[in-house]
Structures are given as C-alpha cells and as structure tokens.
C-alpha cells in the first residue's frame, strides 16, 4: 500500500501540464469515485487494524495533496471558452430594413407641401363616383363627345356609377359642401380604360387644385402656377400657357414648364420642344359654380389638375410608368427620403 501511495504522490507532484483537459483527466484518474484513491480506500477497509493506523494517515495525506494540487491547477488554468461561442458585445446590431417611400408619394407630399404654404387645404373624395360628380356637374352634357376624352370603367354595367376618371370630381364635392373662399387641393387615384404602355397606365394619380373667392382672376391662376413651378422645379423655372379645352373651365389652358433641350433625354421627354406639359387649368366655368350652388355673379375661381406619375417620372428620370406599379423592391429601395 505504501509503495502505491508513494508512487501516486510522485506522479501528482511531477504533473505540471497547464492544459485544462489534461488536468481534468488527472482529477478523474485520482479523485473520481472509481479513481485510484477511491480504490486505495477500498483496499484500506479490508486491512487488519494495526496496519490501518500506519497507512491511514499517509492515505489521507495523499487524498488531501491530490485535492489541493488539482484545485490549484484548475484555478490557474481555467477552461478556455470555445471561440465560436464567444459573444462580442461590441459588434454592431443587425440591420433592420426600414423601407422607403414610393416615388409617387414623395412627389405627392412635396406638391401638397408647396400648396399648403399658400393656404390650400387637402380634400379627398371617393374612388367609385357617380355620374353627377365625375361628369354632369362638371359641365359634361350627356352624350357629349367630351366624355369620350376619358375612357371610363363603369361599375357593373351601371352607367351611373364609375371609377372616377379624374380628381375634378372632388372639386364638385368641396363646392357642394363648403362656402367660398375655397382653397383646396385633392390628391387621389384615378382610373381610365386605356391600354397599358410605357407612357400610360389604367390607374394613376392626379392632384386637383381649386380656388374660389370674389375677384379671382386668370392672373391669380398664372401667378399661383408660376409659384408652384418655381418651388418644385427650381427658382429659374419658366412656364407657358397654351389655349386648350376642358368642359369645366372657360377659358382653359395647358401648362408647360421649360425643361431644356440639351441632351437626348431632354429631346425624348419634351418631344423635341424643350417644353414639358405638366397640367391642365382654367377659370371654373360659371355653369360648374352654379351646379354646385355657388353664385357665379358673385364668385369666380380657377382650377388645375396634374398627373403625379408624369411629374415623378420627370423628377426621377423614370422611363417606364409601369415601374411605378410593379412594387419591385430593387426599384423601390432607390427612393430613400425623410419626407
């Protein structure tokens, strides 16, 4: 027994490995339930009592020595963490994708902001509209060919209900419900039964403008549109008005913004003229005021209507209107904004 105790002591004393796994192996070899020291204690139990006294102390010393040595080894050589499991709290957090505004909304919000600055409020109307608000009140006589200017989607073959073909219908609703002075813009979706191509779509957005008060003149209309064009397109922007026809305005005009004619894109966008058509406008026809319960002898007004997609396409140089409706993330992600 003594021989074994001495041999084990020697082995323990000479152990000087710092590898945590080797230290653990040493502990198992000597101190576990089935280890060498436990085996010595088993032998010890079976010994005659005289011998026990002699061996007992050495055996206890051996056990104590083994425990202290292994404790020491363990505390000076801690188990190394697996590198893969380490958490580095200084690493940046995951990127969350925040999304972006749709270019049509960016342009719409900017235009609303420009008109809000000069006292226009925002009004809205329904997308499914009746004949009165979309056509009749706006001075489109029944059977009049002007209705053909706007290819209409009728609802369930009912000629009295349709998807609105323009936001001018909101003008009628506002004039029916409010008293002048009225200064309002009406953004919204409109629908036309048209073939879809790179330049036109059957769904698009318009922003309608309406100003009704005493003594509103064509000069007020021109000045308001010049203000808008210079806010939106730049301080040096020039506009021109060309005579046109709409049933609900008299006189009527198309508004062009000078775009420039320097490169191929300018030629394409302006059909070689340098001028870009951005909206229709005019003085509200007295019949329309009358239809909406406003006395045309007392009040006058101007109105205008513009297509949001066209303006967004110009602003962002988008060559195909269909891109605005496909919701392809690769396209939409390019429009980051604070607005």
* 304 sits near ligand DAH (criterion: CB under 6 A): yes
Helix or strand run (H / E) with residue 178? none
Binding status of residue 135 toward ligand DAH by CB under 6 A: no
Q: Is the dihedral of CA 41, 69, 33, 6 positive or negative?
A: negative
CB of 97 to ligand DAH, least distance (A): 37
User: How far apart, in whole angstroms, are the C-alpha atoms of residue 85 and residue 198?
Assistant: 54
Is 208 near ligand DAH (CB under 6 A)? yes
Calpha distance 232→230 (Å, rounded): 6
Pairing state of beta strands 158-163 and 182-191? unpaired
If one asks whether residue 191 binds ligand DAH (CB under 6 A), the answer comes out as no
Query: Of 152, 184, 186, 249, which lies in the binding site for ligand DAH, with binding defined by CB under 6 A?
Result: 249
Binder of ligand DAH out of 305, 309, 311, 312 (CB under 6 A): 305
Output the residue with the shortest Cβ distance to ligand DAH.
305
Q: Which stretch binds ligand DAH (CB under 6 A): 5-13, 233-241, 298-306, 318-326?
A: 298-306
Give the neighbor-by-neighbor strand order of the sheet with 154-155.
128-130, 158-163, 154-155
Say how far apart CA 292 and CA 133 lie, in whole Å.
Answer: 10
Q: Which is nearer to ligand DAH, 30 or 115 (CB)?
A: 115
Distance CA 109, CA 199 (A): 22
- Give the residue carrying structure tokens 């913004």: 257
Position among 282, 299, 300, 310 found at the interface with ligand DAH (CB under 6 A):
282
The rounded distance, in Å, linking the Cα atoms of 187 and 11 is 90
* Closest CB 283 distance from ligand DAH, rounded Å: 8
Nearer to ligand DAH, 8 or 252 (CB): 252
Between 151 and 190, how does the x/- string for binding to ligand DAH read (CB under 6 A)?
---------------x-x----------------------
What count of other Cβ atoms lies within 10 Å of the Cβ of residue 261?
Answer: 13
Shortest separation between residue 93's beta carbon and ligand DAH, angstroms: 48
Calculate the dihedral angle through the C-alpha atoms of 121, 127, 130, 131, rounding to the nearest 10 degrees: 90
The span from the CA of 63 to the CA of 30, in Å, is 9
Could you tell me which stretch among 10-18, 43-51, 74-82, 300-308 binds ligand DAH (CB under 6 A)? Answer: 300-308
Least gap, CB of 282 to ligand DAH (angstroms): 4
Q: Which stretch binds ligand DAH (CB under 6 A): 67-75, 110-118, 276-284, 330-338?
A: 276-284
**How many angstroms from the chain centroid is the CA of residue 317?**
20
Q: Which stretch binds ligand DAH (CB under 6 A): 34-42, 64-72, 256-264, 303-311?
A: 303-311
| Count of other CB atoms within 10 angstroms of residue 225 | 22
Both tokens of 330, joined, read 């690769």
Q: Is 216 among the residues that bind ligand DAH (CB under 6 A)?
A: no
Coil/strand/helix, residue 180: coil
**Given 37, 207, 281, 292, the residue binding ligand DAH (CB under 6 A):** 281
Q: Using CB under 6 A, list all residues that contact ligand DAH.
A: 166, 168, 208, 246, 249, 280-282, 303-305
């Amino acid at each position: 027994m003594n021989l074994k105790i001495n041999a084990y002591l020697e082995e323990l004393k000479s152990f000087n490995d710092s590898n945590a796994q080797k230290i653990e192996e040493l502990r198992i070899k000597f101190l576990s339930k089935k280890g060498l020291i436990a085996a010595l204690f088993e032998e010890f139990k079976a010994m005659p009592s005289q011998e026990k006294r002699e061996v007992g102390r050495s055996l206890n010393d051996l056990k104590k020595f083994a425990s202290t040595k292994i404790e020491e080894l363990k505390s000076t050589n801690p188990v190394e963490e697996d590198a893969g499991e380490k958490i580095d709290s200084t690493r940046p957090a995951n990127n969350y994708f925040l999304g972006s505004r749709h270019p049509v909304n960016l342009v719409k919000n900017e235009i609303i902001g420009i008109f809000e600055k000069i006292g226009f409020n925002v009004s809205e109307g329904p997308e499914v509209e009746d004949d009165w608000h979309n056509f009749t009140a706006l001075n489109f006589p029944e059977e009049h060919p002007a209705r053909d200017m706007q290819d209409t989607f009728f609802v369930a073959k009912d000629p009295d209900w349709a998807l609105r073909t323009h936001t001018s219908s909101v003008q009628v609703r506002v004039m029916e419900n409010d008293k002048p002075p009225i200064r309002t813009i009406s953004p919204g979706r409109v629908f036309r039964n048209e073939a879809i191509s790179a330049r036109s779509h059957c769904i698009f957005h318009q922003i309608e403008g309406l100003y009704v008060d005493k003594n509103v003149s064509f000069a007020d209309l021109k000045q308001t549109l010049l203000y808008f064009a210079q806010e939106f397109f730049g301080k040096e922007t020039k506009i021109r008005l060309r005579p046109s026809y709409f049933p609900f305005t008299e006189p009527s005009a198309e508004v062009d913004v000078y775009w420039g004619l320097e490169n191929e894109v300018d030629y394409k966008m302006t059909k070689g003229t340098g001028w870009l058509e951005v909206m229709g406008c005019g003085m509200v026809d007295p019949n329309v005021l009358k239809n909406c319960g406003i006395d045309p002898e007392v009040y006058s007004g101007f109105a205008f209507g513009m297509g949001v997609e066209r303006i967004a396409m110009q602003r962002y140089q988008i060559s195909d209107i269909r891109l605005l409706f496909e919701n392809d993330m690769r396209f939409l992600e390019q429009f980051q904004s604070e607005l």
